[in-house]
A and B are shown apart, each in its own frame.
Chain A
Amino acid sequence: DTAVSQTPKYLVTQMGNDKSIKCEQNLGHDTMYWYKQDSKKFLKIMFSYNNKELIINETVPNRFSPKSPDKAHLNLHINSLELGDSAVYFCASSQVRRTNTGELFFGEGSRLTVL
């Protein structure tokens, strides 16, 4: 069983479209994250949710909206896609309460290409 799974793995779309990426973790963790990896491999945190509550919201355009229906799921919706949104988006989870080591478990990534 995959611990952190993302869908879709690949997404090719036109500028101006709206798209969503879904993430699910079966590790029982209380915190989930979205990271963006650009073409130079740099990883930057976008959002983090702890038990469905938004706790980290970095400087990300309003076109990006995360949603966490429960602590095992964190989705990312992107409106009005732009060329610069092309990247690999990684979902991750961690158990913060009780252990608090912050070790992240990553999904395999969703490669978004905006044409």
Chain B
Amino acid sequence: AQSVTQLDSQVPVFEEAPVELRCNYSSSVSVYLFWYVQYPNQGLQLLLKYLSGSTLVKGINGFEAEFNKSQTSFHLRKPSVHISDTAEYFCAVRPRGAQKLVFGQGTRLTINP
């Protein structure tokens, strides 16, 4: 079975500071990897995804993530955050050939002025 662990439940950061949200997964087969963002009282929106190829993936709103197969990680980064980045962030994996997307527990990113 697959599982996803987001190592931090909450991350407070000052505006314009860099941020990293950590995600580790376990799977016996190759996976596709995703990061979603959920703004308050909204649905989930895709930030970026890793399917194959380059391990550094760029997404919307200045976010990027790096796939590290040996460490089974897919950490999300942004060099300079904005107040509008305050949201819940979810890492997710889907084993190749499977239909189900498995989500991590979420990380609440709070940006302080």
Chain A residues within 8 Å of B, Cβ to Cβ: 4, 31, 40-45, 48, 50, 55-56, 90, 92, 96, 100-109
Q: What B residues does A92 contact at CB under 8 A? A: 44
Offer 27 A-B interface pairs, CB within 8 angstroms, sorted by A. A31-B99, A41-B38, A41-B108, A42-B105, A43-B44, A45-B101, A45-B102, A55-B99, A56-B100, A90-B43, A90-B44, A92-B44, A96-B99, A101-B32, A101-B51, A101-B94, A102-B32, A102-B94, A102-B98, A102-B99, A102-B101, A103-B49, A105-B46, A106-B44, A108-B42, A108-B43, A109-B41
With A42-B105, A101-B32, A103-B34 known as contacts, the answer to whether A56 contacts B44 (CB < 8 A) is no
Interface string of B81-113 (1 = CB under 8 A from A): 000000010100010101111110110100000
Residue of B42, B43, B88, B94 touching A41 (CB-CB under 8 A):
B88
**What residues make up the interface of B, taking CB atoms closer than 8 Å to A?**
32, 34, 36, 38, 41-46, 49, 51, 88, 90, 94, 96, 98-103, 105-106, 108
CA–CA, A89 to B64, complex, Å? 28
Kindly list chain A residues whose C-beta atoms are within 8 Å of the C-beta of B42.
108-109
In the bound assembly, the distance between CA atoms of A39 and B59 in angstroms comes to 28
* Residues on B with beta carbons closer than 8 Å to the beta carbon of A104: 44, 46, 101
Say yes or no: B43 contacts A107, CB within 8 Å.
yes
Given known A31-B99, A101-B49, A101-B51, contact A109–B94 (CB-CB < 8 A): no
- Of all chain B residues, which has the CB nearest A109? B43
B105 x A41 contact (CB < 8 A): yes
On chain A, the residues within 8 Å of B36 by CB distance are 106
